[in-house]
Structures are given as structure tokens and as C-alpha cells.
């Protein structure tokens, strides 16, 4: 965790700002807001990202995901007073900001509204944007929480309005903190209350070198990512996670019926993100190479295990599922994606197309059996050459023997 020094915020005392480095392309934000007497009045820790669709100068539409907030400031965050409620104000990037407002009733307080502003004039984030300027999206929430309770929502929450999709997860927040001490009483969001589905752990063994295998193969799920009204990524696969933590190995089948998909598509990269009640995120990142092929470049995961611990791994130097652009990659047999020594993914009935999806359908597939055929060809050629060489040698020795026999007769 990287913490920055305390600095004054007008009308609210001091702010301690901490950025906790999270998984690739993701930051956890943490804010401890204190009053003039240096007592905590508001505490918040959360993760968020934003997906924005915008029009380009050539009248097409692009979608970008804003998740790496860079240097963050909290100017304008206040504890609140008789006239104004508490407020979290976040500034990041060139002209991006986020505000959460809180209100108070007799026995409850509310997360009243959220406002997100983004700058389409930022050419790095919004290349070739037709309209330049600051655009704002306001969302009314009115989430009521008992006074002196800490609000928790680990599940993914999504807000969608106009061309903006907001994602929030791992949220902890308490406004109107009593006596400067953050409460230990937690009030869960509805998704966390109803998220009772736990991953099925089929086998547990003490050795990290042993990989337990469930008897049943996982059910295949179909996932997609949209760019505006068009589907830009398709994936069908059964997923089985092999996890080793603290010398305990587990195998978990992902249930597609309780798994949700989001993501983004760009010209040379595409992201498929899966999440559920136990999986905070499972990211598959695809990339283009040599301008004519795609492959799986990166996998990131963060999830809750049955013992309550969090398992997180990231690897951005992979090379799996290679196929030509304009086609899909297919492999019906079991394959293993080795992310790290502690984490592997077994895939079943796999088909994926992260680029150039037309009319929401898969293009012609390159089958993984072709890789096996390519591997067998040099073996067959080598065996044939070895056979020819053996025949030549046999003919030579037979001829040599006959030659010596002729000399002895003479």
C-alpha cells in the first residue's frame, strides 16, 4: 500500500489518501477523512472503472475502459455540516472526476447520488473523438444504511446510463462516523446478502505438487462483450480452476449460470472479464500480433476461497489460443492454460473470437487439432527418412557381403 502525506481540505480538516496497488489495470482507492479535531468522520475503500462509448470523427463508435486512474486527488471531499452532507470528491487524469454524496435521516444515512465526469478532449483516452469537452453522468441511488454501520458490497455493481457503464466492487464506506471510530458492524448490500453460492471444491490435498481432478467436467458457458449495439467478442468454454495456496490444492468448476461477463474491445486488444459471487474478476486479455493473428496474452484473477482468503494472480506474458484474425479459435478437447505455478485453467469445449465478430456469430474456426497435425508432420517425415536410411544401409552391407564372397571364390 502506498500512502501519501496528510494534506488539508478546506472546510473538512485533513485527508489521508492511500492507493493500494491491485491487479493489472485496477486500483483500490482508500480515503480516511478527518475533521478539525483529527477524528475520522468518513471512511471509504472501493474499486471502480468506467466504460465509455463515444463517436469518432469518421462517424463510427469506439468504446474505452477507464480503470487506471493514475495520480488521484480528493479536493472537495468534506465531512459535512448542518447545510451540506458529506461528500467524496475524486479527481484523476486530465479532466476526470467522480463525486459521491451522502445524506442523513433520523436513524439512517444514504449514499444519495454519484456523479462521473469525463473529458473527451483527452486525445489519449478518446482518440479521434468527434465532440470535445467535459461530459457528466449523474446517478441517483438512495441506498439506505443504519447509522453507525459500515456499508460493504464485495459484489460487482453496475450503473448504466447514456453511453457510460460504471462498475463498482469491494466497496466499504461509512459516512457520519461516530466518535472518530469506524464501525465494526457491517451492513451488506443486497447482492452480498443473496450471494450464497460457494465454489465447489472437489478435492483437497496437502501437497502443492498434486493436482486433484473433479470427476465431472465443467458446464460450458457462452459469454460476450458488446461495443455499443454490436457484439465484438464471443467466447464459449467450460472452465475449471486449479489453485494452490498455502500448500493446499483445490479444483473449482465455474458455473456459467451464476457468472457474468463484461469487457472491452479495441483495435489491438480485447478484454473478457468474468465475475460471480466468489470471483471478483477473472480477466482474459487478447492481443494482435504481426497484424494478422490474435492470441491470449494475459490472465488475471482475484477470488474468494472457501476459507475466506483472497487468491490473486496476474500474468501478462502468455501465448495461448493463437489463430488468424477474422477467424475463431476452437478446441473441444481439454486444454490447460498455465498462468503460474499456483494457478492453471483447464478449458473444455472452447471456442473464442475476440476480434472481427460479424453479426454476432463466430467466423470459421481454427481447430487446435491442427496444431497436433503440424507437430506430427515432422515426426512422420523424420521416421520416413530414417526408414529410407536403414534400407540404404542394409542394401550397402548386403552388396558388400556379396562382393567379398566373389573374391573368395576367385
pLDDT in tens, 280-319: 899 999 999 999 999 999 999 988 887 777 888 889 899 9
The pLDDT, as a whole number, for residue 333 is 93
The answer as to whether 147 is a domain residue is: yes
Same domain, 91 and 182: yes
The string of pLDDT tens digits covering residues 80-124 is: 887 889 999 999 988 999 999 999 998 999 999 999 999 999 998
What is the C-alpha separation between 139 and 160, in angstroms, rounded?
9
On whether both 224 and 178 belong to a single domain, the answer is no
CATH number at residue 90: 2.40.160.110
- Residue 375 falls within a domain, yes or no? no
The model's pTM? 0.49
User: Residue 60: what pLDDT?
Assistant: 87
pLDDT band at 393 (very low <50, low <70, confident <90, very high): confident
- Residue 140's pLDDT band (cuts 50, 70, 90): very high
Residues 35 and 172 in one domain: yes
Rg (CA), the chain: 29
48 and 175 both lie in a single domain: yes
Q: Residue range 383-407: average pLDDT?
A: 68
* Residue 372: other Cβ atoms inside 10 A: 11
* 34-50 mean pLDDT: 92
Q: Quote the CA–CA distance of 77 and 100 in Å, as a whole number.
A: 9
Residue 227 domain boundaries: 219-365
Q: Let me know if residue 288 belongs to a domain.
A: yes
Domain count, the chain: 2
Residue 376 is inside which H or E element, if any?
helix 369-409
The answer to whether residues 323 and 280 belong to one domain is yes
Is it the case that residue 377 has pLDDT exceeding 80?
Answer: no
Question: What is the mean predicted confidence (pLDDT) over 261-286?
Answer: 92
Higher confidence at residue 90 or residue 403? 90
Please count the CA atoms within 13 angstroms of the CA of 197 that sit on its side-chain side: 15
Angle of CA points 276, 281, 284, to nearest 5°: 120
Residues 164 and 281 in one domain: no
Using alpha carbons, select from 31, 32, 35, 44 the residue that is nearest to residue 10.
35
Quote the CA–CA distance of 389 and 383 in Å, as a whole number: 10
Considering the domain architecture, whether residues 138 and 250 belong to the same structural domain is answered as no
Residue 144 belongs to a domain: yes
Min mean pLDDT across 113-122, 178-187, 372-381 is at 372-381
Q: Decide: helix, strand or coil at residue 322.
A: strand
Query: pLDDT at residue 390 above 90?
Result: no
CA 179 to mean position of chain CA atoms: 38
The pLDDT mean for the chain works out to 82
d(CA 306, CA 298): 25
pLDDT at position 63 over 80: yes
Whether 48 and 176 map to the same domain: the answer is: yes
Q: CA 100, CA 90: separation in Å to the nearest integer?
A: 9
For residue 410, being part of any structural domain is answered with: no
pLDDT tens string 325-364: 999 999 999 999 999 999 999 999 999 999 999 999 999 9
Helix (H) or strand (E) holding 388: helix 369-409
Residue 392 lies in a domain: no
Q: Is 262 part of a structural domain of the chain?
A: yes
Confidence class of residue 376 from pLDDT cuts 50, 70 and 90?
A: very low
- pLDDT above 80: residue 181: yes
Q: Is the same domain home to 115 and 235? A: no
> 208-237, pLDDT tens digit by residue?
344 455 558 899 999 999 988 899 999 999
Burial class for 93, CB neighbours closer than 10 Å (0-12, 13-18, 19+): middle
3-state helix, strand, coil in the chain (%, to 5): 15, 55, 35
What share of the chain has pLDDT > 90, as a percent?
54
Between CA 103 and CA 114 the distance in angstroms is: 12
The enclosing H or E element of 274 equals strand 269-275
Higher pLDDT, 63 or 85: 85
Over residues 245-258, the pLDDT tens digits come to 888 888 999 999 98
Q: Quote the pLDDT of residue 196.
A: 40
pLDDT top residue among 140 and 199: 140
Q: pLDDT band at 383, cuts 50/70/90?
A: low
Query: Is residue 151 predicted with pLDDT exceeding 90?
Result: yes
246 and 181 co-located in one domain: no
Amino acid at each position: 500500500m502506498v500512502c501519501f502525506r496528510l494534506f488539508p481540505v478546506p472546510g473538512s480538516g485533513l485527508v489521508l489518501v492511500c492507493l493500494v496497488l491491485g491487479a493489472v489495470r485496477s486500483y483500490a482507492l482508500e480515503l480516511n477523512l478527518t475533521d478539525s479535531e483529527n477524528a475520522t468522520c468518513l471512511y471509504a475503500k472501493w474499486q471502480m472503472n468506467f466504460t465509455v462509448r463515444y463517436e469518432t470523427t469518421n462517424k463510427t463508435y469506439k468504446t474505452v475502459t477507464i480503470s487506471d486512474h493514475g495520480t488521484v486527488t480528493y479536493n472537495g471531499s468534506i465531512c459535512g455540516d448542518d447545510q451540506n452532507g458529506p461528500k467524496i470528491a475524486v479527481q484523476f487524469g486530465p479532466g476526470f472526476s467522480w463525486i459521491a454524496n451522502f445524506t442523513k435521516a433520523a436513524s439512517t444515512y444514504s449514499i444519495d447520488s454519484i456523479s462521473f465526469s469525463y473529458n473527451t478532449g483527452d486525445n489519449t483516452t478518446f482518440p479521434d473523438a468527434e465532440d470535445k469537452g467535459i461530459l457528466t453522468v449523474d446517478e441517483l441511488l438512495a441506498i439506505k444504511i443504519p447509522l453507525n454501520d459500515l456499508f460493504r458490497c464485495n459484489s460487482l455493481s453496475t450503473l448504466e446510463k447514456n453511453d457510460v457503464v460504471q462498475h463498482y466492487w469491494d466497496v466499504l464506506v461509512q459516512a457520519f462516523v461516530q466518535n472518530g471510530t469506524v464501525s465494526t458492524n457491517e451492513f451488506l448490500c443486497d447482492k452480498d446478502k443473496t450471494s450464497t453460492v460457494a465454489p465447489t471444491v472437489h478435492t483437497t490435498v496437502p501437497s502443492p505438487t498434486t493436482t486433484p481432478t473433479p470427476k465431472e467436467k465443467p458446464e460450458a458457458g457462452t459469454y460476450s462483450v458488446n461495443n455499443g449495439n454490436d457484439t465484438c467478442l464471443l467466447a464459449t468454454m467450460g472452465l475449471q480452476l486449479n489453485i494452490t495456496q498455502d500448500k493446499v490444492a483445490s479444483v473449482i468448476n465455474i458455473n456459467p449460470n451464476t457468472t457474468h461477463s463484461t469487457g472491452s474491445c479495441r483495435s489491438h486488444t480485447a478484454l473478457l472479464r468474468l465475475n460471480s459471487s466468489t470471483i471478483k474478476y477473472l480477466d482474459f486479455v487478447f492481443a494482435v500480433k504481426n497484424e494478422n493473428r490474435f492470441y491470449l496474452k494475459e490472465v488475471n484473477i482475484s477470488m474468494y476461497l472457501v476459507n475466506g482468503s483472497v487468491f490473486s494472480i496476474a500474468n501478462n506474458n502468455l501465448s495461448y489460443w493463437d489463430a488468424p484474425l477474422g477467424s475463431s479459435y476452437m478446441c473441444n478437447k481439454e486444454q490447460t492454460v498455465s498462468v503460474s505455478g499456483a494457478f492453471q485453467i483447464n478449458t473444455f469445449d472452447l471456442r473464442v473470437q475476440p476480434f472481427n465478430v460479424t453479426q454476432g456469430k463466430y467466423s470459421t474456426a481454427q481447430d487446435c487439432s491442427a496444431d497436433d497435425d503440424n507437430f506430427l508432420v515432422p515426426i512422420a517425415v523424420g521416421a520416413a527418412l530414417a526408414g529410407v536410411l536403414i534400407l540404404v544401409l542394409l542394401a550397402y552391407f548386403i552388396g558388400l557381403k556379396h562382393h567379398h564372397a566373389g573374391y573368395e571364390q576367385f
